[in-house]
Amino acid sequence: MATFVEGPVRVSVPATAANLGPGFDSLGLALSLHDELLAEVTPDGLEIDVSGEGAGSVPLDESHLVVRAMRAAFDLMQAEPSGLRLECRNAIPHSRGLGSSSAAIVAGVTLARALVAGGQLLLSDEALFDLAADLEGHPDNVAPAFYGGFVISGREDGRWYAVASGVDPRVTPVVFVPPTPVSTEHARSLLPDVVPHCDAASQAGRTALLVAALAGQPEHLLTATRDWLHQEQRRSAMPDTLALVDSLRADGIPAVVSGAGPAVLAFAAADTSRLTRRCPRGWVAHALAVEAAGARLLA
């Protein structure tokens, strides 16, 4: 029977931007905006405290996504805590395309492993990533949330993979967050089942170029972030988002829908203040960095 560590454990997990234009369901970038969570085994019951993003709207019971992820990891380790206390200090906006659900899942599985004595021996990093991707259903946000940096991920022969790629230090992300959410489910429901072969071919070429542009040739980012398969198809659900993307790109600024939206991700030159001033009224702009570290335990 598994035993548990004494006292609380803490974890920090970054926000993520997926797709990055053409890399639909395969490319993801970790950003320097973090949720911080604390968990502790208690004698009984379940206590959840949430502050920041999601406070007052997320459930405070077993249906909380972090708790569900923790339970899944405990099950794999054959560990059953008598009770749990969970504190969430959330900075990642919910339902905006910045990976809040992936951050919750990655935080949950990481906390659960850290609470079990010898958890690293019971669940490797690869197994923990596999579990997180299984829970989310796709790896494009989970991979950078877990590993950090820029990650190319997918599924082959029934197994998840995640491959890190370099990011040029000149690449500076700026995120524009609108006041109202759009659900990932609704955004996905707008996508067609079939796409023209020519569009798929163009998308593949731009995805390959994007990996090279991020790695060391950011002057190609405007061309590399062109999308054919998912952004325009979602315009009806987020017209203000696509209007901002169109406006920025018309001025030569690489801009894309972040994940399923409705946040916008743009890549700035050295002076981010000129770009953040383009933030629409009622939106919030974050000048961020690429976060090299994924989920990490805090002292």
Residues in CB range of 215: below 8 A, 6 or more apart = 165, 166, 167, 168
Ligand-binding annotation for 236, yes or no, is no
Q: Rounded CA gap, 118 and 297, in Å?
A: 15
Q: Rounded CA gap, 88 and 257, in Å?
A: 27
Ligand-binding annotation for 96, yes or no, is yes
Ligand-binding annotation for 95, yes or no, is yes
| Residue count (the chain) | 299
Ligand-binding annotation for 122, yes or no, is no
Q: Rounded CA gap, 212 and 272, in Å?
A: 23
Q: Which of 99, 188, 109 minimizes the C-alpha distance to 151?
A: 99
DSSP letter at 99?
-
Region for residue 249 given its phi and psi (left: phi exceeds 0; alpha: psi -120 to 50; beta: otherwise): alpha
Q: Which of 108, 114, 137, 115 minimizes the C-alpha distance to 41?
A: 115
| Tokens of residue 169, six digits | 């230090």
Ligand-binding annotation for 143, yes or no, is no
CA 23 to chain centre: 14
Going by the annotation, the residues of the binding site are 93-103
Going by the annotation, the residues of the binding site for ATP are 93-103
